């Protein structure tokens, strides 16, 4: 069994600790900082075996060096980002797999937010660790890639099984829901999701993980073919990529 511990850090980041109960191996996904990870490891009596980085931004790799110094863990990240991920030991790319004890994750390249972004998909646990590519009702900003690249990346994630749990790296759901409602106000699933998000955040509880099925129903960046969204943003005759690009621009200035 894969145990997943969600650690909120900084203002809105999530670090994930993944623990294989059979082998005892443990991985940290995108450790922004080290101390909270070390505390949880100590509390649970776990030893850190790996760090899985999705991309090179500081709020995803900031804890790499200290965690490696304390635990001797192996750091895994994208080959395209090997010059930008601190203390990286092993590089991976699209189609590779990484093992955590008895569990296996597929590496999927998701260019767009950054040029070397990857995600980790554990099919046997219905779990996707997607960094800043896909958020609850949102997607990453285009820092290094094009709208078409990020759209293509999201098509890969849309195709995952509906029950796949989406473990993104930030708690952006409330702001994302406000934008989503601005472009698709009559979406009942979206209205209900907003109520859930507001209730969770009022109690300082996470809204993550979501699921692929939830995102297909509520996330405008996965719903660029929606006639309602197209009508709202005056893009009825545009291609899917053009609608996606317009949505991303609108969100950037929302």
- 19 as an active site residue: the answer is no
CA 127 to chain CA centroid, Å, is 11
- 81 as an active site residue: the answer is no
Confidence of residue 93 (pLDDT cuts 50, 70, 90): very high
Catalytic residue among 55, 56, 103, 117: 55
Catalytic residue among 59, 81, 117, 214: 59
pLDDT in tens, 163-211: 999 999 999 999 999 999 999 999 999 999 999 999 999 999 999 999 9
The pTM for the full model equals 0.97
Question: Which three-class secondary structure state does DSSP give residue 81?
Answer: helix
The percent of residues in the chain predicted with pLDDT above 90, rounded, is 100
Catalytic residue among 20, 30, 56, 60: 60
| Torsion, CA 156, CA 158, CA 163, CA 167, rounded to 10 | 70
The residue assigned the tokens 């060096």 is 65
Return all residues near 91 (Cβ < 8 A) that are at least 6 apart. Answer: 76, 77, 78, 79, 82
Catalytic residue among 20, 117, 170, 214: 170
CA distance 236 to 224: 10
Residue spans of alpha helices (H) in 8-146: 35-44, 58-61, 64-71
pLDDT in tens, 8-35: 999 999 999 999 999 999 999 999 999 9
- 59 as an active site residue: the answer is yes
Catalytic residue among 81, 113, 117, 214: 113
CATH of the domain at 73: 3.60.15.10
- 70 as an active site residue: the answer is no
Structural domain including 11 reads 2-252
Residue 49 near residue 61, CB atoms below 8 Å: no
β strands within 93-226, DSSP E = 97-100, 103-109, 118-122, 127-131, 134-135, 138-139, 165-168, 210-211
- Total structural domains within the chain: 1
- 12 as an active site residue: the answer is no
Catalytic residue among 56, 57, 103, 117: 57
CA 193 to chain CA centroid, Å, is 18
Residue 1 pLDDT > 90? no
- 225 as an active site residue: the answer is no
């Amino acid at each position: 069994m894969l145990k997943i511990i969600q650690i909120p850090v900084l203002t809105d980041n999530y670090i994930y600790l993944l623990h294989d109960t059979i082998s005892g191996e443990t991985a940290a996904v995108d450790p922004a900082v080290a101390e909270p990870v070390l505390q949880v490891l100590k509390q649970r009596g776990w030893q850190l075996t790996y760090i899985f980085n999705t991309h090179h931004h500081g709020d995803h790799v900031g804890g790499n060096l200290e965690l490696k110094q304390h635990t001797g863990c192996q750091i895994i990240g994208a080959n395209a980002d090997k010059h930008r991920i601190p203390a990286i030991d092993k590089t991976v790319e699209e189609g590779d797999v990484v093992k955590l004890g008895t569990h296996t994750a597929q590496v999927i390249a998701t260019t767009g937010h950054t040029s070397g972004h990857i995600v980790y998909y554990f099919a046997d646990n219905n779990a996707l660790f997607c960094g800043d590519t896909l958020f609850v009702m949102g997607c990453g900003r285009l820092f290094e890639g094009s709208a078409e690249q990020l759209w293509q990346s999201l098509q890969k994630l849309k195709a995952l099984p509906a029950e796949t749990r989406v473990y993104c790296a930030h708690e952006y759901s409330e702001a994302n829901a406000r934008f989503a409602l601005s472009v698709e106000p009559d979406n009942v699933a979206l209205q209900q999701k907003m109520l859930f998000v507001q209730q969770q955040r009022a109690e300082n509880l996470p809204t993550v993980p979501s699921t692929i099925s939830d995102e297909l129903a509520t996330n405008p960046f996965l719903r660029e073919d929606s006639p309602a969204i197209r009508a709202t943003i005056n893009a009825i005759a545009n291609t899917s990529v053009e609608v996606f690009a317009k949505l991303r621009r609108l969100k950037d200035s929302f």
